[in-house]
Amino acid sequence: MMRCIFCQNLSGQLKVVEHIIPESLGNKEHFLPPGVVCDKCNQYFGSKIEKPLLESDYFRHARFRTETPSKKGRIPSISAFLFPTGLGLEYFIDKEGNRGVAARSEKDVAAWIKYLETHQHGNLIILKPKRSDEKLFSRFLGKVAIEVLAHRYIKRDGWLEHVATDPQLDPLRRYARFGKGSSFWPFRCRRIYPEDHAFVDDTGQFYEVLHEFTILYTRQKELYLVLAIYGIEYAINYAGPELEGYEMWLRENNNRSYLQMVEAS
């Protein structure tokens, strides 16, 4: 019987795996086996943290641009409007990969059909997406950080219990799961490669990286999660809500990304 790495209750015999990064961000391989995260915590993170993030303008646009489907195989549509009429529209990609435009609501269907019947051209305006809720995203990073630690050490005897019970992780654990403790746990973000960057493997084949992560241990003995999603790198401190140690590490390493340093080594 395992202890949940978030609520610390014994999780029993469960059947639900925990995806470290949501499947709707392209994660098919990085997950924790049943019991590492109990069903209650799994459901909480899915409905209260990940769902609102995935439905935010920022991630809807990113998933649309990269054509990243949900676990049900759907690519999210994005809102637009017809200039100069102001008619609300949805820009979508269907399961066959075809792009199209439809009225955003039923009340606009008749006006959209009439416009198509009477005009050969039009201007589709897509607004710049709003940034995601920073505290919500910070809590998501805290959740990912704890799970990445469990994922790294799960095969070492006794280490999973250590991750679940280590008091040094309790502040981040409580912040991610319950929103308690620090009013805001800061994180650092920057773009390290273009969203559509094509990497090349040893055989010359091109591939995309939707997400990647690692753990950085600095010479000041601080632990940071370093995570990239769609080419944007995020870093968060395991021990406390501060980033000075990470900023120092960046200065010492000419602002190179630790993700890229690990990949090159």
pLDDT at 130: 87
Cα torsion 169, 34, 151, 187 to 10°: value is -50
Extended beta strands in 104-208, E state: 123-125, 188-191, 199-200, 206-207
Specify the amino acid at residue 57. D
Q: Are 49 and 40 in contact (CB under 8 A)?
A: no
pLDDT at 157: 85
Mean pLDDT, the chain, rounded, equals 92
SS3 of 106-135: the string is: HHHHHHHHHHHHHCCCCEEECCCCCCCCHH
The DSSP bridge pattern shows strands 78-83 and 123-125 to be: antiparallel
190-215: pLDDT as tens digits? 999 998 887 777 788 877 788 999 99
pLDDT at 116: 92
Burial class (CB within 10 angstroms; exposed 0-12, middle 13-18, buried 19+) of 198: exposed
Q: Are 83 and 71 in contact (CB under 8 A)?
A: no
Instruction: Indicate if the pLDDT at residue 237 is higher than 90.
Output: yes
163-190: pLDDT as tens digits? 999 999 999 999 999 999 999 999 999 9
pLDDT at 71: 85
Mean pLDDT in residue range 132-141: 96
Omega cis (within 30) before 22 = no
Residues 6+ apart with CB under 8 A from 144: 20, 21, 213, 225, 227
pLDDT at 144: 98
- 51 pLDDT band (50/70/90 cuts)? very high
Instruction: Indicate if the pLDDT at residue 56 is higher than 90.
Output: yes
Would you state the structure tokens that stand for residue 41, as one six-digit string? Answer: 């915590």
Mean pLDDT in residue range 116-131: 90
Instruction: Indicate if the pLDDT at residue 265 is higher than 60.
Output: no
pLDDT at 264: 58
7-38: pLDDT as tens digits? 999 876 677 889 999 999 999 899 999 989 99
- Give kind and range of the element (H or E) at residue 102: strand 99-103
Mean pLDDT in residue range 80-97: 92
pLDDT at 128: 87
d(CA 258, CA 17): 28
